[in-house]
Structure 1
Amino acid sequence: MCVHAHPDDESSKGAATMARYVREGIEVLVVTCTGGERGDVLNPKMDRPEVQQNLPRIRNEEMARAREILGVDQHWLGFTDSGLPEGWLPDSGIPLPDDAFYLVPTEKAAAPLVEIMRSFRPHVVTTYDEEGGYPHPDHVKTHEVSVAAFRAAGDPQAHPDRGEPWQPLKLYYSHSFGKARIESLHHAMLDAGLESPYADWLSGDRDWARDKSERVTTRVECADCFDLRDEALKAHATQVDPDGFWFAIPREIQQAAWPTEDFELVESHLPTRLPEDDLFAGLR
């Protein structure tokens, strides 16, 4: 089970890993916490009034195409996108809409996810770290809700009206954009005689304080599924420009320079040896 904040997050964070496991015959369920209702149209080719006016419906349709490409099942948790006011941080005091997912009490927001966990009965759960991967209110809330549900799903005293208890065995945080990966891709582009899209990131004064590279415990080799990841991401046409930044590095360079997607094992109910190369290490 992979818990994400918005439609498109599943395709930009761990998508090739999911596709690999689907190929291996493992059931994969994406849980999407919100509908992305307050997102912007980030692809200039799609930035038209009729798209913005129908964005919730269109993002739902995009999600349907992406899950078909990846071969996963998907469930909407049903909460409302919080939006991202300029300058927002958890302690900023900047207000959010009254119906924002971020403002739902964590125990209440976790209850439907507990029910899905008890029904689907996953062995492995992935989500975001304590900062949400980046400080978006819905990503931070997704982290809080995922951790709470992981811990409550196996507790018969917690949410007794939400199904028979089931304890997932391993909880991971996804770390998709660590500095080590960025540096590897940057130098691979230069070695190929190509311009790197990360040059400004690495030569400027970019703040790497949130880099989590050293926390990675598990690198899942999934380069053979990068094509499915890319197609799933392109399915979210309102969010991703197929000629833009996401696709600036040729796939073959990515496959050679960094053929894995990376995770941090944060809770486990069975013994496992670190580092790992498989989210199902100890379960096979």
Structure 2
Amino acid sequence: MAVHAHPDDESSKGAATTARYAAEGVDVLVVTCTGGERGDVLNPHYGPAPAGGEEMAAVRREEMAAAAAALGVRQHWLGFVDSGLPEGDPLPPLPDGCFALVPLEEASAPLVELVRDFRPHVVTTYDPSGGYPHPDHVMCHRVAVEAFAAAGDPERYRDRGAPWTPLKLYYNHGFSLARMRTVHDAIVAAGGESPFSDWIDSRQAREVPERPVTTRVECADYFPQRDAALRSHATQIDPEGWFFAVPREVELAQWRTEEFELAESRVPTTLPEDDLFAGIRGTEAAR
């Protein structure tokens, strides 16, 4: 179960890994917490923007369905309202009723129910920072961690189905500084222009700490599925933009994995790992 904040996050964070596991016969469910109603059109080639939140939500539902099909996964909407990304100094208050303002237990209850129904062995989501400071990403982390902790407890969320205890919780590490530096150096060495120059400088200037990577999943064979899923989100992803600025031959030569941080495991495992199901496959817990 991969828990994400908005439609398109599942395609930019761990997408090739989910496509690989789905192709290998793993039942993969992407959970999308919000409808992305307050997202802007970020693709300059898209054309006229959808008029209003309801129309944007409808467009993004269609995009999400196409992305899920490209990855070969199932997908479920939790049904919360996008909080938007506040901008300004000072930051404006978040809109009433948005996902980030929902009390934690209320926001977590539908995910606990879904965990108990789907019964995943592995859950992935964002680290405590949200990966970047969008209020929905931070809330997504809080909700996923709460559901992971509570779904197996029969005394909690008692009206939300029979208890189920997932075994491992991971945080996505889609934009690690190590990855950006490696790819950046390879592009520059080949005489190309790296899309990561400003980002690396910004990360270093802000002294953003690197979180530990425990698990690297080989998934280069599924980069085409990842790219197809990204292009499905036409309101958000410019097919000539940043996500596609790294030559694929450089990516295949330099960085063939996606990275994760094992946040909690209820089964014995040995680090580093190359499989999110390490310690689970073939065990009684898995059966």
Classify the TM-score, shorter chain: over 0.9
Aligned partner of 1:60 in structure 2 is 61
* TM-fit CA distance, 1:49: 4.1
| Distance (Å, rounded) in 1 between the aligned partners of 2:157 and 2:20 | 33
Q: CA RMSD in A?
A: 1.6
Aligned partner of 2:30 in structure 1 is 30
Secondary structure class of the residue paired with 1:45? coil
Kindly provide the amino acid, as one letter, of the partner of residue 115 in structure 2: M
Aligned partner of 2:285 in structure 1 is none
Alignment of 1:64-213 (within 5 A): 64-87=65-88, 94-203=92-201, 206-213=204-211
Distance change in 2, residues 1:58/1:184 (3 Å)? same
Find out whether 1:281 has 2:278 as its counterpart: yes
Deviations 1:130-180 (A, max 9, x none): 010000000000000000000000000010111100000000000111110
- Contact 1:175–1:212 (CA under 8 A) maintained in structure 2: no
Kindly provide the amino acid, as one letter, of the partner of residue 20 in structure 1: R
Deviations 1:65-93 (A, max 9, x none): 000010000000000000011058xxx77
Unpaired segments of 5 or more residues in structure 1?
none
Deviations 1:104-126 (A, max 9, x none): 01111000000000000000000
* TM-fit CA distance, 1:266: 0.7
Aligned partner of 1:244 in structure 2 is 241
| Distance (Å, rounded) in 2 between the aligned partners of 1:205 and 1:27 | 36
Deviations 1:214-263 (A, max 9, x none): x1100101011011001100000000000011100111211111111000
Alignment of 1:225-264 (within 5 A): 225-264=222-261
| Distance (Å, rounded) in 2 between the aligned partners of 1:219 and 1:208 | 26
Aligned partner of 2:43 in structure 1 is 43
Distance change in 2, residues 1:66/1:56 (3 Å)? same
Unpaired segments of 5 or more residues in structure 2?
282-287
Deviations 1:31-71 (A, max 9, x none): 00000000000001114144667211100000000000100
Aligned partner of 2:284 in structure 1 is none
Secondary structure class of the residue paired with 1:265? strand
**Percent same amino acid among aligned pairs?**
63
Secondary structure class of the residue paired with 2:45? helix
Kindly provide the amino acid, as one letter, of the partner of residue 116 in structure 2: R
Kindly provide the amino acid, as one letter, of the partner of residue 102 in structure 2: V
Aligned partner of 2:221 in structure 1 is 224
| Distance (Å, rounded) in 1 between the aligned partners of 2:163 and 2:70 | 32
| Distance (Å, rounded) in 2 between the aligned partners of 1:275 and 1:152 | 27
Secondary structure class of the residue paired with 1:46? coil
- Contact 1:51–1:58 (CA under 8 A) maintained in structure 2: no
Kindly provide the amino acid, as one letter, of the partner of residue 71 in structure 1: G
Distance change in 2, residues 1:283/1:87 (3 Å)? farther
Kindly provide the amino acid, as one letter, of the partner of residue 37 in structure 1: E
| Distance (Å, rounded) in 2 between the aligned partners of 1:49 and 1:227 | 27
Distance change in 2, residues 1:15/1:204 (3 Å)? closer
Secondary structure class of the residue paired with 2:171? strand
Kindly provide the amino acid, as one letter, of the partner of residue 178 in structure 1: S
- Counting matched residue pairs gives 280
| Distance (Å, rounded) in 1 between the aligned partners of 2:186 and 2:119 | 41
* TM-fit CA distance, 1:18: 0.2
| Distance (Å, rounded) in 1 between the aligned partners of 2:203 and 2:78 | 38
Kindly provide the amino acid, as one letter, of the partner of residue 69 in structure 1: A
* TM-fit CA distance, 1:206: 4.8
| Distance (Å, rounded) in 2 between the aligned partners of 1:204 and 1:123 | 37
